[in-house]
Amino acid sequence: MRLSRLAATLAVALPLVTATASAASSPAPSPIALTSVLPAVAEAQPDPGNDFRLTAGTVIVGAGDVAGQLAAALRPATGFALPVGTMPAANAITLRLQPGHGDEGYRLTIRRDGVELLATGRAGLFNGVQTLRQLLPSAIEADTPQRRKWIIPGGTIDDRPRYAYRGTMLDLARHFHTPDEIRTHIDRISRFKINHLHLHLSDDQGWRIRIDAWPRLTEIGGAPGTGVGGDGGGFLTKDDYRGLVRYAADRNITIVPEIDMPGHVNAAQIAYPELTCDGVAPRQRTDMRVGYSTLCVRDEITYRFVEDVIRELAEMTPGPYLHIGGDETFATPHGSYLAFQRRVLPLVEKYGKIPYGWHEIGQSPAAATSVLQFWGRERNHPAVATAVAAGAKVIMSPADHTYLDMEYDLLTPGGLDWAGAIEVSTAYGWDPATLLPGIPATSILGVEAPLWSETLHTEDDIEFLAFPRLVAIAELGWSPRATHDWDSFRARLGAYGPRWVRDGVRFHRSPEIRWS
Ligand code: TNX
């Protein structure tokens, strides 16, 4: 009942782009506008009256696995067979590779006689399919008159990303989340063309990835009771991790592993007291304080440990980046921090990966070939500017706009508040290109929204804090600057609500949005 009322509201509230089409002609116009997609598409040319209607006879044509993914996504809702073939056909959605659409871009042409999706590669096809899914009504429109169902609005979309890197982070250290929960999260985020998932795999409380050369890291650091407040615990086996890498890749997402060092290492030092300068194991810590632990920068064993960890992580990570943390090292003297980075950043390159770290690594001259993740709230950052001038690249994660673990407001449950309350308009209201003065556009790889897990326990907690704010960050990262418009964004977001309801996503019903 409630669902069908939502659906009815959705159909009425959305602008009827095809309203001018002849009412007498069949099919009836789509209730969805070509421009309603999240994140906003780069270019759209509606062609009212040229809508495509998906029917029991529609076929999907395409050689690769994305055609199968599209069919699998549409079958449950429509109840149609949607066979997948490789021979050209009528009444078809055709996926085809064609050069000229960029690494992740695509062209989608929707006409009465068929739909064609063109892309240079698999990533573009995947992105085009996400767009196509949003152009179909959501399955909850059960009482919509049959003739209005499964209509895709006519026209052409030419779309491509503003930035190559559009990420989010999940902290597995403060509260562990199982591979199943991570897969569900991957499903959710991939709908919005997020293409990197950064996993924060170690911290003071726990160590969450198996390292064969140092097995006690997970035997002790991944034991029950190693979450914040003595909760939970757990870790990923190498098979778990490799499985997640593949699952993510199928959804155009690259996993970015992080081991945080030289600070945030209390769990590692309990497992291996030789990683402290005095050789004494520290006590277990499951509180939320930061900045008190440090590796022993002058000891050679530290670098044997770090190299083993980097080598084993690099071996199971096909993606280009390996994140070595580097934040909040209040227990590491400045000179020691620089000495540490001088040895560790090149180790990442030795194993074929691009060194990536929180922006503090920018203090090191060795960071010139690294990627800095800017998480600050200040807007003038000389060390970041110097590193960028020397060649470093930047990913923008300003805490006061992108931190998904900040509370929405004083009333919503969960989240911290040190970077302020972040409602949807705050997450949306900034520009990665101009946030830091003096950083040239060519040095910015993209955006990432981190989700630290101090206050997260369940999958619902993840979803509540991530959605809808992550979609705001996805749009800043994907859509051209010229399309950014709060009123347009909030209207499209409001119309998306019923899809999250259908998918069982417990999103924050922000009072800033008029939800359908
Ligand atoms: C700061 S931002 C941290 C994390 C905490 C987070 C909580 C950053 C690089 N470090 O250690 O989990 O705040 O919001």
Q: What is the pLDDT of residues 422-441, one digit of tens each?
A: 999 999 999 999 999 989 99
**Ranges of H-type helices in 16-156:** 65-78, 122-135
Confidence of residue 16 (pLDDT cuts 50, 70, 90): very low
Q: What is the pLDDT of residues 269-325, one digit of tens each?
A: 999 999 999 999 999 999 999 999 999 999 999 999 999 999 999 999 999 999 999
- Measured in residues, the chain has a length of 516
pLDDT at residue 77, as a whole number: 87
Confidence of residue 144 (pLDDT cuts 50, 70, 90): low
Q: What are the C-alpha distances in Å from 5 to residues 2, 10, 141?
A: 5, 9, 9
- Residue closest via CA to ligand 1's atom 12 equals 452
Arithmetic mean of pLDDT over the chain: 93
- Selection from 212, 209, 156, 216 nearest residue 182 by Cα: 209
Question: Per the residue annotation, which of 181, 274, 307, 328 is the catalytic one?
Answer: 328
pLDDT at residue 320, as a whole number: 98
Residue 406 near residue 422 (C-beta atoms within 8 A): yes
Ligand 1 midpoint to CA 452 (Å): 7
- Residue closest via CA to ligand 1's atom 5 equals 452
d(CA 262, CA 295): 5
d(CA 208, CA 172): 7
Place of tokens 């959305």: 14
pLDDT at 509 over 50: yes
> Does ligand 1 lie within 6 Å of residue 416's CB atom?
yes
Name residue 241's amino acid. Y
Residue 245 near residue 317 (C-beta atoms within 8 A): yes
Q: What is the pLDDT of residues 70-82, one digit of tens each?
A: 999 999 888 999 9
Q: What are the C-alpha distances in Å from 421 to residues 408, 409, 427, 464, 475?
A: 5, 5, 10, 14, 20
> Does ligand 1 lie within 6 Å of residue 374's CB atom?
no
Ligand 1 midpoint to CA 319 (Å): 24
pLDDT at 387 over 60: yes
DSSP state of 236: B
Q: Which of 290, 359, 377, 396 to mutate to test the pocket of ligand 1 (most atoms within 8 A of CB)?
A: 290
What is the atom index within ligand 1 of the atom nearest the CA of 450?
2
Confidence of residue 145 (pLDDT cuts 50, 70, 90): low
For residue 26, count other CB atoms closer than 10 A to its CB. 8
Residue 59 near residue 85 (C-beta atoms within 8 A): yes
* Cα pseudo-dihedral 269, 273, 279, 285, rounded to 10: 40
Weakest mean pLDDT among 12-16, 136-140, 286-290, 448-452? 12-16
Confidence of residue 31 (pLDDT cuts 50, 70, 90): confident
Residues 6+ apart with CB under 8 A from 293: 204, 263, 264, 265, 266, 269, 282, 331
Q: Is the pTM of this model over 0.85?
A: yes
Confidence of residue 149 (pLDDT cuts 50, 70, 90): confident
* Residue 328: active-site member: yes
Residue 4: both structure tokens together = 């069908």
For residue 3, count other CB atoms closer than 10 A to its CB. 16
Place of tokens 């593949």: 246
- Residue closest via CA to ligand 1's atom 6 equals 452
What is the atom index within ligand 1 of the atom nearest the CA of 418?
14
Name residue 282's amino acid. P
Bridge partners of 255, per DSSP, are: 197
What is the atom index within ligand 1 of the atom nearest the CA of 419?
14
pLDDT at residue 30, as a whole number: 72
Bridge partners of 95, per DSSP, are: 117
Mean pLDDT on 140-161? 78
> Does ligand 1 lie within 6 Å of residue 405's CB atom?
yes
